Every structure is written in structure tokens, then in C-alpha cells.
Amino acid sequence: MTDIRSIDAVKYNSALAEALKKDSNFKEPEWINFVKSGSGKERPIDEKDFWFKRAASILRQIYIHDVVGVQRLRTRYGNRKDRGGKPEKFKRGAGKIIRVILQQAEKAGLVEKVKEKRSGRKLTVKGKEFMEGIKV
């Protein structure tokens, strides 16, 4: 068993996204084709399998940072907003997408809520085993 941190993130996230597609708890919502992934974006999401790729990325972030909240993930997936003649400004990513993915992961038993010094979500034992069992 190799540490997930030492595996190339792109290859690992692709393999994890494929595994999440097979899990019945992870489903794309109907509205995902009509929303933007953050207020800094100009167009809706047109990437194929965006939902599963973002879910894989979020689970990897939780694995690396132990406890992660929605606000930290919103900052992680934010970008610069083009404001025309004014200087660009950083905008956080969409919280609804992150919250729904975390709720689906909770339903699958991969993550659990934590109310300690740092609030947020952390991986369960089942979640760690699932993530470490992914073959790249």
C-alpha cells in the first residue's frame, strides 16, 4: 500500500473518479449542467464527468488535510473573476456543489462530521480503506 500523497494527483483522481461512478451513492444532480462552479466563472460547467472528478478531488483533499470544512474547500476551488476594466478579484467556488458532494460521501459512509477544535468533515475508516484500495 503506497501513500496517496506520493501518487500523481491527476492519475489518482481519475482512478478515484471511475470508482465513484460505480458507487450508487454518488449521482450527478439534474441541475449540474445549468450552474457555474463559482461566481468567478463566466460559463456553466461543460466538462464531462465533472461531478465525479470534483468528488474525487474533494476526497483527496480530506485525505491530505485530515479535517476540511466547506469554506476551506470553497477557497481551494475558487478563481479570479474578470471584472472588465477593474482589477481582477479572487472569488470562492460554489458551496452548493461541495456540500452536496460531502453529503453524498456521508451517505456512502466515507466521511463524517467533526465538531472539535476544527469543524468540518474527516474520512472514516471505511473511507480511508476505500481510497487506499484504488489502483492507479
- The pLDDT profile of the chain, 136 residues, written as one tens digit per residue, is 568 888 899 999 999 999 999 988 899 999 998 998 888 888 888 888 999 999 999 999 999 999 999 999 999 999 999 999 999 999 999 999 999 999 999 999 999 999 988 899 999 999 999 999 998 8
pTM of the model: 0.92
- Would you kindly state where each structural domain of the chain is located, as residue ranges? 4-132
Tally of CB atoms within 10 A around 119: 12
Give long-range contacts, CB 8 A cutoff, 24+ apart: 4-10: 4/60, 4/63, 4/64, 4/131, 4/132, 5/64, 7/136, 8/136, 9/60
Q: Which CATH number fits domain 4-132: 2.102.10.10, 1.10.10.10, 3.40.50.2300, 3.30.9.10?
A: 1.10.10.10
DSSP for 33-48 reads GTS-SBTT-SS----T
